[in-house]
Amino acid sequence: MTNLACVAKRCLLSILLLLGVAAASAQGADQLPSWNEGKAKQAIIAFVEGAVAEGSADFVPVPERIAVFDNDGTLWPEQPLYFQLLFALDRIKALAPQHPEWKDKEPFASLLRGDVKAALASGEPAIMQIVMATHSGMTTDEFDQIVSDWIASAKHPKTGRLYTEMAYQPMLEVLSYLRTNGFKTFIVSGGGIDFMRPWTEKVYGIPPEQIVGSSGKTSFEMRDGAPLLMKLPEINFIDDKAGKPVGIHQHIGRRPIAAFGNSDGDLQMLQWTCSGPGPHFCLYVHHTDGEREWAYDRQSSIGRLDKGLDAAADSGWTVVDMKKDWNRVFAFGK
């Protein structure tokens, strides 16, 4: 072997050694740095490592590695109101000049006076009126632009941060960790599918085709020779509670093997996921941190976690104590 060949061989071996060290380092790196060491973090890692271990009893083929996540309260906050409802309230103010009749019509009159509590006093019927008034009567493209403009500038009333900055850092790490290990991640939310699709890919890395949510009816029209889709003031599907497994079946076509939620509205999704054959994993985010976020569960009117807590204890699901299990809630936090 010539000197030149020897040098080339040594260089190649050095490169391979460095690559091997880098790969080993990457594998050994903490994939969930915002999680404190404990049962919750260990459970996530154990499930993923089992799912990817070829030849093990817990191995799951890549096409079957489906993980579903609720959005509000699971991937970002839902207090003091669901963010989509805050969007709708902003839209009411913007649209008010076009609707002088709202000054004497509830729930709009109370909203325009700044009395959100009175406006929502009748519960779901009031919310439906607000959503129908702000989410219809336009094309899907027009609505996408309205949402995109709002999400780019609107700020949370308590933190003063953009809503997109308030994604939970620990959950972003879980999403990344799962995808690194061959999982396909979906959002399955009671929120509006058209509200979420314009921004979820940028914030969560989840593209619009992997969003399952509530929807209004849509119609196809030809206007001035151009085809368009119009958003109608009618409910099409509510993706909440028992609707979540139905939405998963209709949109995804595979039973998930991992489900993440935070409220009783996610209970049926977790039940359906963790009753399937083979390895599975279900997790509830329990809001226990009143300083860095909000503390609420069984008595909350938003994100109530009551039956879900009992089901988690009975079924052995993982329950994340936000205060104890997360060393960071938001990327901007300490």
Decide: 56 and 278 in contact? Cβ < 8 Å.
Answer: no
Segments of 93-242 assigned E as strands? 138-139, 184-192, 211-223, 226-237
- For the chain, domains (ranges, CATH) are 34-54+61-82+164-325 (3.40.50.1000)
Long-range contacts of 91-97 (CB under 8 A, 24+ apart): 91/133, 91/134, 91/146, 91/150, 92/130, 92/133, 92/134, 95/133, 95/134
What is the distance between the alpha carbons of residues 208 and 71, in angstroms, rounded to a whole number? 14
DSSP 48-114: HHHHH-TTSTT---GGG-EEEE--BTTTB---SS-HHHHHHHHHHHHHGGG-GGGGGSTTHHHHHTT
pLDDT at 57: 95
CB-based contacts of 99, cutoff 8 Å, min separation 6: 108, 133
**Integer angstrom CA distances of residue 81 from 72, 94, 96, 133:** 10, 19, 21, 18
> One digit per residue, pLDDT tens: the chain, 334 residues?
454 444 444 544 444 334 343 333 344 589 999 999 999 999 999 999 999 999 999 999 999 999 999 999 999 999 999 999 999 999 999 999 999 999 999 999 999 999 999 999 988 899 999 999 999 999 999 999 999 999 999 999 999 999 999 999 999 999 999 999 999 999 999 999 999 999 999 999 999 999 999 999 999 999 999 999 999 999 999 999 999 999 999 999 999 999 999 999 999 999 999 998 999 999 999 999 999 999 999 999 999 999 999 999 999 999 999 999 999 999 997 6
pLDDT at 11: 43
* Encoded tokens for 188: 């399955």
What does R_g of the chain's alpha carbons equal in angstroms?
23
CB atoms within 10 A of CB 294: 19
Q: What are the backbone angles phi and psi of residue 293, rounded to the nearest 5°?
A: -145, -120
pLDDT at 306: 98
pLDDT at 29: 84
Asked, as a colleague might, if the bond just before 80 is cis with ω within 30 of 0, I would say: yes
pLDDT at 10: 52
* Encoded tokens for 290: 């009143």
